[in-house]
Chain A
Amino acid sequence: MPSTPLNRICYVEDDEDIQRIVRMSLERVGKMTVEVVSDPLKAIEAIVAFGPELVMLDWMMPGMDGPTLFRKMREDERTRALPVVFITAKASTGELNELLALGAAGAISKPFSPKDLPVQLREIWAKLP
């Protein structure tokens, strides 16, 4: 369990409406600091610039999908150690298991409850080594 409580989160998501809801949920309900990135191709730079404690990735995005971005992050020195949580409407159990095996910290299914989202993230955070 990490020594500090979860505070800084970076969210990569192309849908603006969902971006807004997640931001409100995490900021208002969870009292966290949130940075939202719309373009997955520029995500790694944005993440490095913001310096989050945890990254949330959408699964389906134009340009690059979540799993690909996740693999790219694993290849990059600067983002390799960051815990990643997928937020998805689509993934099958098999695919999720594969990502968890690759090192994803967790997965939250869409539609999520904005009321419960900060709690879910903190639970995942608490389980990290």
Chain B
Amino acid sequence: MTDASTATQHTASRESGIADDIVAALDAGDPRQLLADRVEQLYRQLPLALAAPFLIAVIASFELWDQRAKELVMLWWIPVFVVSASMTALYWAYRRSPDPSANATQWLRWLGIAALASGVNWGVAGAVFFPSHTDEQQVFLAFLLAGMASAGIPVYAASWPIFALYSAAILLPFTYVLASFGNRLFAEIAILIPVFYMMNVAVAYRLNQVFQSGYRLRHAYGKLTEEHTALNERLEQQLADLTDAHREVAASGRKLALFAERAPIAVFEMDGNATILEMNPAAENIFGYPAAELTGRSLIRMLMPSDRGVLDRKWWEVFVASLQPASHVRTQCVRRDGLEITCEFSLTPLVNEEGDLISVIAQCRDVTQELEAERLKKEFTSTLSHELRTPLTSIIGSLQLLNSGVMGDLDKDMAELTSVAERNAQRLLDMINDILDIEKIESGKFTLNPETVALDELVRESLVLNRAFGERFGVRFQALGEPVKVSVHVDRKRVLQVLTNLLSNGAKFSPEGGAVEVGMVRVDGRVRVEVHDRGPGIPDSFRGRIFSRFAQADSALTRQKGGTGLGLAICKRLIELMEGSIGFTDREGGGSTFYFELPIQAEARRSQAA
């Protein structure tokens, strides 16, 4: 749209430009081009100016030949040839010139000289032959010279000065002869000749003007045609562009309409007052109203009559004033049949370039069942966890008492079996605890008890507490490098849980007889605790989802090593709740490094306490 309007403006300015060009062309034209055109016109007449006098010279020679002036006639033919040859050469040179218009003045000058030479030739001939011939022949000569002079008008009309020169060269010697002849009639004619000459020159001048304006018109017309063609081409191009644009707009409009029509979510278009302008079939399905019944009515009044929803008139006013999109707006709605449902709206104001609201597009989903499912899921997990824990308490308790030996010694096979039972019961309990933890974290019910903790001491404690677990896998836990003595503000129990998890993962995946090493480093305002193992590393396919729920690289390994697949997911959420971050890298020389970072608390307090 912007492109099109710019193009229109552009065309408008071009059009006024063309009009200016035409006026300028009519006014003056290009003087150099005008001159070149005139010169071209003159040279085009040159063959005529060459051939006609030559023919006339032949006729005149024939008329004058029989008398006593034979030698004179023959002598006269020398300049006739010279002039004709020169003019032919000039014509040939002009036609051969690659760009005669570049040098128009020079060509005009040469032509002027040629015309003058031709005129002089005839004028002198007239003056020489006239006195020595009979009266009839004198009439013939006078007629001939007058004809020659006036024939110059059409030939040299494109340049009146050349005609004036040429004509003067013919008539001047003749007039002189007539005036000095001693005859009264001739004297009177001699007086008339300059008058006729002047009139002829005046006619030539006028003709010259007509030619000039003719040229100008032709130029202007040429230019006009040129511009017109260019304009036409441009218009055609613009028309093609517009057609394309129109087709594209129509196609995207159809696509959009199709999206809205086939979308499983409700789509409304509304004005600034929440009056519904359009709605899609999904909206009809969700709210049970046919489009005709809702169009033109207020969304809020029709669908949110109760005051319990978030999306009320007040909310709408704030939203419209802000002109900012709003997402995940959950609100109570009432269907046509009176059923209450919970809907989630995404509202987007459509704003034009001037910042004015055009309309509001609302997308909406019925989330009633989703919420109910969520609630049931939560209820289920919490009940299940509690109901499972109670019998597990008895199972684990009984097995522990048996295995502890306070009830007396068991025989070897029985002891082995009760150990298996206890270990697996413990595993089941861990899984339930993990599920409870993650459910609490994800439902936002999880509360932390943050306190100032010396992280280096906590790390040392975790190594001691988990030693027994490591021994089960034949793996040692040991510190790597100097501990960083820092305080962090965290939930001590939960950081210990994370450390325990990372250590036990390290132990499970390390080769027997190996070591899991724990180091600490400072990373700009944060402290990083790293747990290095020499295990098989993390498979590529598993890297992306290692912190997801129930993520385990190899389920066969899980059965062998134990674990719920929730451990790392819980660690990530716990660490993030404590404003930290968690991650892993490949360890140089094989194995993996899991680490977490926590913000360091102001160190002054720690040193004072110490």
| Residue positions of A touching B, CB distance < 8 A | 15, 17-18, 21-22, 24-25, 28-29, 89-90, 92-94, 110-115
> Residues of A contacting B404 with CB < 8 Å?
29, 114-115
Cross-chain contact B393 with A18 (CB below 8 angstroms): yes
Name B's interface SS.
helix
Contact yes or no, B401 A90, CB < 8 A: no
**Chain B contacts of A111 at CB under 8 A?**
389, 392-393, 396-397, 429
Judged by a CB distance under 8 angstroms, whether B5 is at the interface is no
Known contacts A28-B407, A29-B406, A90-B386, A110 near B393 by CB under 8 Å: yes
Contact partners of B183 in chain A: CB under 8 A: none
Complex formed: what's the CA distance from A110 to B392 in Å?
A: 9
Could you say which residues of chain B place their CB within 8 Å of the CB of A28?
Answer: 401, 406-407
A113 touches B400 (CB 8 A): yes
B6 an interface residue at 8 Å Cβ cutoff?
A: no
Looking at B392, B397, B406, B449, the one whose CB has the most chain A CB atoms below 10 A away is B397
Query: B389 touching A114 by the CB < 8 A rule?
Result: no
**In B445-497, which residues have CB < 8 Å from any A CB?**
447, 449
B401, A89: Cβ atoms closer than 8 Å: no
CB–CB A24/B449 < 8 A: no
Q: Is the Cβ of A115 less than 8 Å from the Cβ of B401? A: yes
Q: How far is the CA of A115 from the CA of B404 in the complex (A)?
A: 7
Residue among A25, A29, A94, A110 making CB contact with B389, cutoff 8 Å: A110
Q: How many Å lie between the Cα of A45 and that of B67 in the bound state?
A: 181
Smallest CB gap from B397: residue in A: A21
**Chain A neighbourhood of B407, CB < 8 A:** 24, 28
Of A25, A90, A93, the residue contacting B397 (CB under 8 A) is: A25
Question: Would you call A24 and B401 a contact (CB within 8 A)?
Answer: yes
Q: A90-B386, A93-B449 in contact; A18/B397 too (CB < 8 A)?
A: yes
Interface CB pairs A-B, < 8 A, 12: A17-B398, A18-B390, A24-B401, A28-B407, A29-B404, A89-B386, A89-B389, A89-B390, A93-B449, A110-B390, A115-B400, A115-B401
Cβ-defined partner of A94 (8 Å) among B386, B391, B406, B447: B447
A49 to chain B, nearest CB (A): 27
List B contacts of A115 (CB < 8 A). Answer: 400-401, 404, 406
Q: Are A112 and B393 in contact (CB under 8 A)?
A: yes
Tell me, yes or no, whether B2 is within 8 Å of chain A by CB: no
Residues of A within 8 A of B390 (CB): 15, 18, 89, 110
Chain A residues whose C-beta falls within 8 Å of the C-beta of B13 in the assembled complex: none
Q: Which residues of B contact A89 (CB under 8 A)?
A: 386, 389-390, 393
Q: Does B369 contact A (CB under 8 A)?
A: no
Give complex CA distance A111, B400 in Å.
11
B449 touches A114 (CB 8 A): no
Q: Which of A15, A25, A89 has the most B CB atoms < 10 Å from its CB? A: A89
In the assembled complex, the Cα of A92 lies from the Cα of B396 at a distance in Å of 22
B394 interfacial by beta-carbon distance below 8 Å? yes
Known: A29-B406, A93-B449, A111-B429. A17 touches B394 (CB 8 A): yes
| Segment 335-392 of B: residues with Cβ below 8 Å from A | 386, 389-392
Residues of A within 8 A of B401 (CB): 21, 24-25, 28-29, 114-115
- C-alpha gap A21/B407 in the complex (Å): 12
Q: Please indicate the chain B residues that have their CB under 8 angstroms from the CB of A93 in the complex.
A: 447, 449
Given contacts A18-B397, A21-B394, A28-B401, 15 further A-B contacts (CB under 8 A): A15-B390, A17-B391, A21-B398, A21-B401, A24-B401, A29-B404, A29-B406, A89-B389, A90-B386, A111-B389, A112-B397, A113-B397, A114-B397, A114-B404, A115-B401
Contacts of B386 in A (CB 8 A): 89-90
| Distance from A125 Cβ to chain B, minimum over Cβ atoms (Å) | 20
Residues of B within 8 A of A29 (CB): 401, 404, 406
For B406, the closest partner residue in chain A by CB is A28
A111 vs B401: C-alpha distance when bound (angstroms)? 13
- A111→B398 CA distance, assembly (Å): 11
Residues of A within 8 A of B398 (CB): 17, 21
Nearest chain B CB to A67 CB, angstrom units: 16
Expressed in whole angstroms, the Cα–Cα distance for A96 and B398 within the complex equals 27
CB of A22, distance to nearest CB on chain B (Å): 8
Within 8 A of A (CB), among B147-181: none
Expressed in whole angstroms, the Cα–Cα distance for A113 and B407 within the complex equals 15
CA distance A115 to B403 in the complex (A): 10
Output the nearest chain A residue to B401 by Cβ-Cβ distance.
A114
A100 to chain B, nearest CB (A): 13
**Top 8 A-B residue pairs of the complex, sorted by shortest distance between their CB atoms:** A111-B393, A21-B397, A17-B394, A28-B406, A89-B389, A114-B397, A115-B404, A114-B401
Chain A residues contacting B394 (CB-CB under 8 Å) are: 15, 17-18, 21
Most buried by A among B386, B393, B401, B429: B393
**Given the complex of chains A and B, what is the CA–CA distance between A25 and B429 in angstroms?**
20
- Residues on B with C-beta less than 8 A from A92 are 447
A16 nearest CB neighbor, chain B only: B394
Nearest A residue (CB) for B425: A111
* Set of chain B residues within 8 Å of A90, measured between Cβ atoms: 386
Q: How far is the CA of A114 from the CA of B401 in the complex (A)?
A: 6
CB contacts (< 8 Å) of B396 on chain A: these are 111, 113
B400 near A114: Cβ-Cβ < 8 Å? yes
Q: Which parts of B402-460 form the interface with A (CB within 8 Å)?
A: 404, 406-407, 429, 447, 449
Residues in A neighbouring B391, C-beta threshold 8 A: 17
